[in-house]
Structure 1
């Protein structure tokens, strides 16, 4: 039995349940995977099917789709062709954009619980690990591609990672397979192609066992990454606040160099915020170590920012400040939606009579006497004493009547507001 078939048979024996679908490009690698799986009854028993993503980046991409249709038909397997639009501009480059579009198409068109089989092999793993290394990745990145991982509601399965591409070439030759060579794979302007075509052949002449060695390292790092991920989960549980969007800043700084990045990335992932790059984590660490207690350091990147206030680290999406002169009349009877994503304001009970209220944001110098207090207070002092973070203070709605401040969101209200509204206002900030 050939290496490809034997590898697939062993991998299928331990594969979790689920319908099996092959991601088929029409090239040699995915052609070998498709042909070999189609020959195995245990693969067909899983409802084996095929999906081809047409990126539309080549003038003859329609011919490739037709080749895939003919191959699937010859193997008596159902095929779905999915056409996607790839953004040709962007910071990550065309190669990354095509991959993102492809993975999105897989996630959209696979039935939940499916297993998507891809034909990555040991040579691909070497390229991936070295590219990650050149980008400064840690253990999680240097573990390379995993044989089995989650893909939304499905799983991504790479059963050939332990085999060199030479094994796939032998299989293709033995079975007289036909495939398409993508000429863009020769374009060394793309980092992976440069590594594959120019760098790795030279390295292999000096280190013939390069791919085996890199594969071993990737497996060791995978085990390390899993251990660190578990440690990061424990660390996060110990330093996360009652408000899940906060962390104990000193507790985070006290973590080991290995755990700090993993813990903050896990924290942000759980909050649905984009993860930071290594440089952002270094900036955060340096600012927290150097900033005095009276400073509020902030590190931001696309889609997220981390701010310290007092002893807590806060994670939030970037916020747009409301216009300084914004003001609106309000009768207190209908809920009011505030600008710049500042939330909604409503009275718990209908006011006792017609009101002419004005709602605006802080402009400085505001004062009020809370209904349960005997003194008039500076709003600035009240906010500080209540521990309201500085970036939230300018987003709190202030309700005025006749030039007098009656209420600050749902935090404070005067005796007059107590009579008019029967208690504090209801304020719902945007998440």
Structure 2
């Protein structure tokens, strides 16, 4: 630990740090190192304890953490969380998700979140990812430093074996708590820690260090591949962020797969499922220009439209039959979270009605003497098909005056021009 301390402790004085403090051995060692950093400014290091409430001794752990932090003069924040036991991906993963959500919600701007993962944790993560068939990004396992809005996530002990932490804790006479769930082999990570890794180390004493080193090499390779992916993604992207089908089809299949996954990540879509890339290649890239082929997973969609792939995030559906009166005097928030407002005028001459498209509507366009089907007007416009159902209709009785701010009737356009006013629509935000 002495070889690490100067670098570790210097970093503690360069940035404000919030330590994820469970009260166990690993986080106790990390917090003690940071608490004793030479030159540390008062208040530059603080601790956060997440109270999961999953163990009968959880309240005792909270009291222990409070006593330790008081002794070391470290501010402590206790954050209770609710763990979704039916989250569909296991209690261990659900607890981790709740913990990380608590960290992110309480991390301050520019602050570093310090977690006490060590070399043995890295080896376990590497094995878990390999057993799940992960690619090079997955095998890179945990990074020592990465972005974690609104700050950074920092794992300063990642290259140290747990035995080094045990030795440090014994030398400093630290007190810590033991989570009894760590002794249960029911969880995958515990099974590796308790049964698989000890067996591997009997044959290969340096197995843990070797797997951690492989994770580091995978991280280097992933970084290089990521740079190449970004270059290809830029070449295949249009100005609005859509993917150009022709450019994508010119890539080798492996490049297509990586660009598609990178693009989905940039579009903040859920990770593509295992069959996602193949389905997109077979169904979307080969579709005709007049087809609106799409691929759906979870609540997200990728749609091919006009020679491009578009990411369509989920939105909130409108209640059936929704409508309301609107006088234009104040912006109105629509059921799906979109907004509509009138700019340049105090309001309409009389209240109008807002509703969703139902089908069969007709509208008289500027410069035309007869009415057109609104459906045909939308099809001939540049409005994306997935936005058309979200367009609020502005009506005067049965007469359609506008579809949001995208298609205006002759009567509404004349009124807006006479009042030097304009109508504005903000599409609904995506649903997370």
TM-score calculated relative to the size of structure 2: 0.82
- 2:304 maps to which residue? 308
Counterpart of 1:382 in structure 2 is 377
What is the Cα deviation at residue 418 of structure 1? 3.9
1:410 corresponds to 2:414: no
* 1:287 and 2:290 aligned: no
For 1:165 and 1:116, locate their aligned partners in 2 and report how far apart those are by CA, in whole Å. 20
Asked whether the equivalents of residues 20 and 46 of structure 1 are also in contact (C-alpha less than 8 Å), the reply is no
> Which deviations, in whole Å up to 9, do the C-alpha atoms of 1:389-421 show, x marking residues without a partner?
323333334455575544443344444444444
Q: 2:295 aligns to what SS in structure 1?
A: strand
Give the one of 411, 415, 430 matched to 2:427: 430
SS class of match (2:4): helix
Task: Go from structure 1 to structure 2 and tell me whether the alpha carbon gap of 1:370 and 1:176 turns closer, same or farther (over 3 Å shift).
Answer: closer
The answer for unaligned runs of 5 or more in structure 2 is none
Residues 301-334 of structure 1: CA distance to partner in whole angstroms, max 9, x if unpaired? 4453222212122223223554675555666777
Q: Secondary structure at the match of 1:306?
A: strand
Q: Could you tell me which residue of structure 2 aligns to residue 215 of structure 1?
A: 212
Task: After superposition, give the CA deviation of every residue in 1:197-217 in whole Å (9 maximum; x if it has no partner).
Answer: 122222222333222221221
Structure 1 residue 46, shift from structure 2 partner: 8.5
> Structure 1 CA distance, aligned partners of 2:156 and 2:146?
12
- For 1:69-88, what aligned pairs fall within 5 Å after superposition? 69-74=66-71, 76-88=72-84
Q: Is the 8 A contact 2:9 2:33 kept in 1?
A: no
Match in the other structure for 2:294:
298
Distance 1:369 1:20 in 2: 62
CA contact 2:48–2:79 (8 Å) conserved in 1: no
Whether 1:142 aligns to 2:139 is: yes
User: Aligned with 1:137: secondary structure?
Assistant: coil
Question: Which of these residues, 146, 149, 170, is aligned with residue 167 of structure 2?
Answer: 170
Q: CA deviation at 1:192?
A: 1.0
- Say which SS state the counterpart of residue 235 (structure 2) adopts: helix
3-state DSSP of counterpart to 2:28: helix
Confirm or deny that 1:32 pairs with 2:29. Answer: yes
Counterpart CA distance in 1 for 2:168 and 2:247 is 55
Contact 1:274 1:304 in 2 (8 A): yes
Matches within 5 A, 1:49-60: 49-60=46-57
CA distance in 2, matches of 1:191, 1:241: 43
Alpha-carbon contact 1:326-1:361 (below 8 Å) kept: yes
Matched, 1:229 2:226: yes
**Offset of residue 70 of structure 1:** 3.8
- Structure 1 unaligned residues grouped into runs of 5+: none
Structural mapping, 1:162-201, within 5 Å: 162-201=159-198
Return the alpha-carbon distance in structure 2 between the equivalents of residues 274 and 286 of structure 1: 20
| Alignment match, 1:8 | 5
Shift of 1:23: 3.0
TM-score, length of structure 1 as denominator length: 0.82
Name the CA distance, whole Å, in 1 between partners of 2:45 and 2:330.
Answer: 57
Deviations 1:336-380 (A, max 9, x none): 65444454264865799658x655444444444422357754433
Matching of residue 393 in structure 1 with residue 368 in structure 2: no
Q: Decide whether aligned partners of structure 1 residues 411 and 19 sit closer, same or farther in structure 2, where only a CA change above 3 A counts.
A: closer
Measured after TM superposition, the shift of residue 151 of structure 1 is 2.5
Q: Deviations over 1:43-89 (max 9, x none)?
A: 67884444433322222223223333444444x33241413123242
The residue aligned with 1:158 is 155
